[in-house]
């Protein structure tokens, strides 16, 4: 199996690039006018989940933070697509 250094060699630059892109996205949200919708709150929750995942792997914690946790089927679909974050 690869060592931590091997993983850094493979993925550090790509992850660095994605991390800066997330920071720039948050700056962009701050800079522009208007009110954010539920996706922004979902993103913030997911960031917190990544930093404090508890006993779960971070990727799982992020995905769960962005998921609908209700349990019953809904009566009817109002859209066909998905947003990527759950409405509060």
Partner 1 sequence: MKYIEPHAHMVSRTTDDYQAMAMAGCEIICEPAFWAGFDRSSPQGFYDYYRQLTEYEPARAQKFGIKHYCWLCINPKEAEDAGFAREVMAIIPEFMDCPTVLGIGEIGLNKNTVSELAIFEEHVAIAQKYDTPILIHTPHLEDKLKGTKLIIDALKNAQIDPSRIIIDHVEEHTAGLVLDEGFWAGMTLYPESKCTPGRAIDILENFGMENIWMNSACDWGISDPLAVAKCAVEMKKRQHSTEIVQKIIYDNPVKFLSQSKNFTA
Buried b (16+ CB within 10 A) or exposed e, 37-65: eeeeebbebbeebeeebeeeeeeebbeeb
SS3 of residue 63 by DSSP? helix
Which of residues 34 and 73 has its CB atom nearest to partner 1 in the complex? 73
Give least dist CB 16 to partner 1, A: 14
What backbone torsions phi and psi does residue 16 show, to the nearest 5 degrees? Answer: -60, -45
Q: How far apart are CA 61 and CA 46, in angstroms?
A: 8
Among the listed residues 21, 37, 48, 68, the single contact to partner 1 using CB under 8 A: 68
Among the listed residues 51, 54, 79, 88, the single contact to partner 1 using CB under 8 A: 79
Give least dist CB 33 to partner 1, A: 26
Residues making contact with partner 1 (CB under 8 A): 1-2, 6, 10-11, 42, 57, 59-60, 63-64, 66-71, 73-86
């Amino acid at each position: 199996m690869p060592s931590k250094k091997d993983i850094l060699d493979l993925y550090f630059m790509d992850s660095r690039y994605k991390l800066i892109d997330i920071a720039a996205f948050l700056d962009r949200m701050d800079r522009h006018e208007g009110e954010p919708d539920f996706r922004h709150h979902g993103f913030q929750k997911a960031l917190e989940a990544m930093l404090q995942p508890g006993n779960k792997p971070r990727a799982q914690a992020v995905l769960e933070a962005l998921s609908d946790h209700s349990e019953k089927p809904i009566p009817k679909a109002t859209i066909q697509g998905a947003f990527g974050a759950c409405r509060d």
